[in-house]
Amino acid sequence: MSYEVLARKWRPGNFEELVGQEHVQRALVNGLEEDRLHHAYLFTGTRGVGKTTIARIFSKSLNCETGVTSKPCGKCSACQEIAEGRFVDLIEVDAASRTGVDDTRELLENVQYAPSRGRYKVYLIDEVHMFSKHSFNALLKTLEEPPPHVKFLLATTDPQKLPVTILSRCLQFNLKRLPVSLIVAHLQHILDAEKVEYDLIALQLLAEGADGSMRDGLSLLDQALAFGAGAVREQEVRDMLGTVSRDRVLKILRALMNRDARAVLQEVAALAEFTPDYESVLAELLSLLHHMMLAKTVPEALDEYISDREALLELSNQISGEDLQLFYQIGLIGRRDLPLAPSDRGGFEMVLLRMLAFRPAQAGAQVATTGGADKVSYQQATTQATTRAAAPKQAVREPAPPPQQKPAEKAPAKSKISSGVGTQDWRQILEGLAVSGMVRQLAANCLLLKQDGNTIRLGLDDGHKALRTPKAEKRLQQALGEYFDANIHLEIDTCTDNNFETPAQAEVREKDQRQLQAEKSIEEDGFVQAMKETFNAEVIPGSVRPAAEDN
């Protein structure tokens, strides 16, 4: 008899045998027992968490010869044929290999016909997100008005790619990634039933390698059995997975926590004798830091089946949360940049030494170095940078003159003003006018050319002549009359001469000057220059803004 892989041999045949996914199990069982069945179900989740397994169990429940039930017998011909994948009314489709609209139409041609043997005709479509747009349209037509004898069971690892029109017509169940403890417990149950010797740590390594997938865990277990000649041992599993002993990574971590650069490099040298994959070692170090942060903040959140759990709990009490976060962030960035290093070992060592080179400012502790070099901490470096800064400039721009206040009494008509002068006078008048919006824009883009008694003549910048409308001109004349408490006659001429500056142009010029002054002040600031020298900092272009004027 040929060998049956564990993932197939131990595939759950009913809801009671299902491992994890209790939220999905409960909803489906209640629906079956209360006869509240939907015509389409969508199961989502990562690979190996039970999407198609649940769909097949549900198909058994619908077509079991004992009747629609949440506990299919597993012995009738319908249950057995479904388990063996030869039930004629269970149509399983791999959407990845049938993406065309013609394939979909051919698949759905027989939807209207009654099932041949079972109670329901069940369409199980795996990786449904691989359908083309036209295939989804063809499926949508059937989902909108399905025959009563048809059930659709859709499974996907990427529900974001499904059209909302499909999602809205399905009951959606999101299957969770399985925790390490659940996978370990299930592997133990299987090995006990198979009468196989095993080490618990080996099962923990397999469960961690499965990354939330029970099927991956069973596949790794099959591989470990073959590698270990019928037994599952820790060292053999480590060799099979290509992982470094966690003890060695823990030694590196302890040296980092002691801020002992010499010990760190010695541990790396000892590790190098085994020709490790340094990217995997760094990933293991990051995993340890993650577990330690969990142990430090929420100890009960640390999975009880995590290998070296007690050591991680002990270490988490010997390091600050700030250091843990900094180590993790440096390691994460270092893992990304590791392929760019001249050598894997050199890149790995630099990541570790970078962890020693920096510390959170509030820690205040010094970094231990070797070779008689000075001990420098992040806090000291920042202090030195501040000390070297020569009297940082406080102002980022020249103070603007105090705004002119509107006179308590209306000003009398001004005396005649010669042409080409009066910019500042017009700005002062403009500040006192009760205008806003387009009328204010019109006034701001003008220059006072002449004032003779009650007649005021303005020159409008040619580029803004569109602002001059009868309504805006009339409102500006009224505002001037209110300001001078006189019956003002307003004349506006369009000026093509660029040898004058309107209030609007003056404001733009002054704003640009303030911006340039702010940028210059930042560049000349002693503290900023020291931060550039010490930490290779940069001023982000466009981030400098002048200080707001005091009102």
In this prediction, residue 59 carries a pLDDT of 93
The answer as to whether 87 is a domain residue is yes
Claim to verify: residue 236 and residue 254 sit in the same structural domain: no
In this prediction, residue 253 carries a pLDDT of 92
The answer as to whether 463 is a domain residue is yes
The answer as to whether 397 is a domain residue is no
Claim to verify: residue 330 and residue 445 sit in the same structural domain: no
Q: Taking 60 as the threshold, does the pLDDT of residue 416 lie above it?
A: no
pLDDT, one tens digit per residue, over 444-461 is 999 888 888 899 999 988
pLDDT, one tens digit per residue, over 284-317 is 899 899 989 988 888 877 777 677 778 888 888 8
- How far apart (Å, rounded) are the C-alpha atoms in residues 309 and 208? 13
Between vectors from CA 17 to CA 11 and to CA 23, what angle results, nearest 5°?
110
- How far apart (Å, rounded) are the C-alpha atoms in residues 72 and 92? 20
**Of the listed ranges 50-59, 187-196, 295-304, 333-342, the one predicted with least confidence:** 295-304
Q: Rounded mean pLDDT of 145-170?
A: 90
pLDDT, one tens digit per residue, over 2-42 is 678 888 888 898 998 888 888 999 999 999 999 899 999 99
Q: Which domain holds residue 471?
A: 410-551
In this prediction, residue 383 carries a pLDDT of 46
Residue among 368, 393, 394, 367 nearest 381 (CA)? 367
- How far apart (Å, rounded) are the C-alpha atoms in residues 493 and 73? 97
Q: By the 8 A CB rule, do 249 and 218 touch?
A: no
Claim to verify: residue 140 and residue 74 sit in the same structural domain: yes
The answer as to whether 33 is a domain residue is yes
- Residue 338 has, within 13 A of its CA and on its CB side, a CA count of 20
Claim to verify: residue 538 and residue 427 sit in the same structural domain: yes
Claim to verify: residue 267 and residue 333 sit in the same structural domain: yes
Claim to verify: residue 130 and residue 204 sit in the same structural domain: no
The answer as to whether 193 is a domain residue is yes
The answer as to whether 276 is a domain residue is yes
Between vectors from CA 51 to CA 50 and to CA 55, what angle results, nearest 5°?
110
In this prediction, residue 62 carries a pLDDT of 93
Burial class (CB in 10 A: 0-12, 13-18, 19+), 246: buried
DSSP3 helix / strand / coil % (the chain, rounded to 5) = 50, 10, 40
Interior/surface letters 448-472, b for 16+ CB within 10 angstroms, e for the rest: bbbbeeeebbbbbbeebeebbeeeb
More confident residue, 247 or 519: 519
- How far apart (Å, rounded) are the C-alpha atoms in residues 219 and 424? 84
- How far apart (Å, rounded) are the C-alpha atoms in residues 499 and 13? 90
In this prediction, residue 99 carries a pLDDT of 67
Q: By the 8 A CB rule, do 19 and 178 touch?
A: yes
Q: Rounded mean pLDDT of 364-370?
A: 42
**CATH number of the domain where residue 98 is located:** 3.40.50.300
Claim to verify: residue 113 and residue 72 sit in the same structural domain: yes
Domain-ending residue, one of 194, 217, 241:
241
Q: Taking 50 as the threshold, does the pLDDT of residue 492 lie above it?
A: yes
Number of domains, the chain: 4
Q: Rounded mean pLDDT of 244-252?
A: 81
Claim to verify: residue 278 and residue 205 sit in the same structural domain: no
Tokens 């499974």 map to which residue? 155
**CATH number of the domain where residue 315 is located:** 1.20.272.10
Burial class (CB in 10 A: 0-12, 13-18, 19+), 183: buried
**CATH number of the domain where residue 538 is located:** 3.30.300.150
Q: By the 8 A CB rule, do 124 and 155 touch?
A: yes
**CATH number of the domain where residue 214 is located:** 1.10.8.60
> What does the mean pLDDT of the chain come to?
82
3-state secondary structure 269-316: HHHHCCCCCHHHHHHHHHHHHHHHHHHHHCHHHCCCCCCCHHHHHHHH
**pLDDT band at residue 242, thresholds of 50, 70 and 90?**
low
Claim to verify: residue 426 and residue 539 sit in the same structural domain: yes
Residue among 62, 174, 52, 185 nearest 118 (CA)? 62
In this prediction, residue 152 carries a pLDDT of 92
In this prediction, residue 72 carries a pLDDT of 92
> What is each CA distance from 24 to 86, 216, 253, 501, in whole angstroms?
26, 21, 40, 73
Q: Taking 70 as the threshold, does the pLDDT of residue 420 lie above it?
A: no
Domain-ending residue, one of 127, 155, 174:
174
- How far apart (Å, rounded) are the C-alpha atoms in residues 246 and 235? 11
Claim to verify: residue 53 and residue 192 sit in the same structural domain: no
Domain-ending residue, one of 153, 174, 195:
174
Tokens 């980092």 map to which residue? 256
- How far apart (Å, rounded) are the C-alpha atoms in residues 285 and 249? 6
- How far apart (Å, rounded) are the C-alpha atoms in residues 468 and 168? 55
Q: Taking 80 as the threshold, does the pLDDT of residue 243 lie above it?
A: no
- pTM recorded for the entire structure: 0.55
Tokens 């089946």 map to which residue? 305
The answer as to whether 1 is a domain residue is no
- Residue 217 has, within 13 A of its CA and on its CB side, a CA count of 32
pLDDT, one tens digit per residue, over 90-140 is 988 888 777 677 777 877 888 888 888 889 999 999 989 988 888 888 888
Claim to verify: residue 170 and residue 26 sit in the same structural domain: yes
The answer as to whether 103 is a domain residue is yes
Claim to verify: residue 254 and residue 219 sit in the same structural domain: no
More confident residue, 378 or 547: 547
Could you tell me the two tokens for 224? 């470990």
